[in-house]
Amino acid sequence: MKTTRSALLALTTAALLGLSACGNGDAPAGPAESRTQRPGDTPSASSSVTSSSTSTSSSASTSASASRTSTTSSATSTDPVLAAIAAAEKEAGGTAYEVDDQDGDGTWEIDVAKGATSVEVDVAKGGTASAGKEGDLDSDDRAGLKAATLDLPEAIAAALKEVDGTFDEAELEEEGGRHSWKISIDVAGDDKDVLVDVRTGKATVEQDG
């Protein structure tokens, strides 16, 4: 009996030791996760950010380019009259407040205010300015110029933003105590008058009738 109990005790101890060894063994490490993107996988966050940034940059560049083109086109269409106004103001030493081409020969006839005097200046196609007769500056024109916060070239630019066409003529106008730059624009042979407030610069198309 002693031998049998000893044998059983030995077997039990061996079994327990075997179980303990199995329980304490570390689990084998699995294969490292592959970082290679497979077809069909969702793009990584960094890839999405890069794509979004590129798209935004491209869009901004396109918009800026379009804006520059539009501004350049508008400026080019009024370059001759703006140059004529500058030449007339330099010749007379004052501020232009009326401009037109009554004869249709390409010579701009520009009225320039100099103090209480109005000077008529002709500016030929080539840019040559010649001062003509002088007279008293109309009281309404004087009041309009005094109230103005934007000059004639700025008023022309504002009018052409409101109506797409070709500049024809411009003058100061007073109605009900309100002073405006009246800019006439040729639209396919039809004149459209735009009133630009001398104080605010707000442009309004004058309704016919």
CA dist 4 → 1, 7, 10, 203 (Å): 5, 5, 10, 117
Task: Give the pLDDT confidence score for residue 129 in this predicted structure.
Answer: 98
Residue type, 7: A
Residues in the chain: 209
pLDDT at 77: 55
**Beta carbons within 8 Å of 16's beta carbon, 6+ residues apart:** none
Residue 159 clears pLDDT 80, i.e. is over it = yes
Binned at pLDDT 50, 70 and 90, residue 100 comes out as very high
Angle at 144 between CA 142 and CA 147, to 5 degrees: 110
Band (92; pLDDT cuts 50, 70, 90): very high
pLDDT number for residue 103? 81
Confidence of residue 209 (pLDDT cuts 50, 70, 90): low
Q: In whole angstroms, what is the distance from residue 79 CA to residue 29 CA?
A: 78
How many angstroms separate the CA atoms of 181 and 76, rounded?
A: 21
What domains appear along the chain, each with residue ranges and CATH number? 69-205 (3.10.450.40)
For the stretch 63-79, pLDDT in tens is 444 433 333 334 445 78
Q: Report the pLDDT value the prediction gives residue 172, as an integer from 0 to 100.
A: 98
Looking at residues 145-153, what average pLDDT do you find? 98
Q: In the predicted model, is pLDDT for residue 141 greater than 90?
A: yes
Task: Tell me what the mean pLDDT of segment 120-135 comes to.
Answer: 95
This prediction has a pTM of 0.64
Q: What is the mean pLDDT of residues 203-208?
A: 90
Q: How far is C-alpha 183 from the geometric centre of its chain's CA atoms? A: 23
- Across 6-10, 76-80, 83-87, which has the greatest mean pLDDT? 83-87
Q: Over range 23-38, report the average pLDDT.
A: 45
Task: Report, as an integer, the average pLDDT of 159-184.
Answer: 96
Average pLDDT over residues 179-200: 96
pLDDT recorded at residue 91: 98
The 10 Å Cβ neighbour count of residue 46 is 8
Residue 46 has pLDDT above 50, yes or no: no
CB-based contact 169:99 (threshold 8 Å) = yes
Residue 42 neighbours by CB distance under 10 Å: 8
Neighbouring residues of 155: CB distance < 8 A, sequence distance ≥ 6: 170, 181, 183, 196, 198, 201
**Residue 22 CA to its chain's centroid (Å):** 75
Please give the residue that has the higher pLDDT: either 197 or 43.
197
The distance from CA 146 to its chain's CA centroid, rounded to whole angstroms, is 31
Position 58, amino acid:
S
For residues 33 and 115, the model is more confident at 115
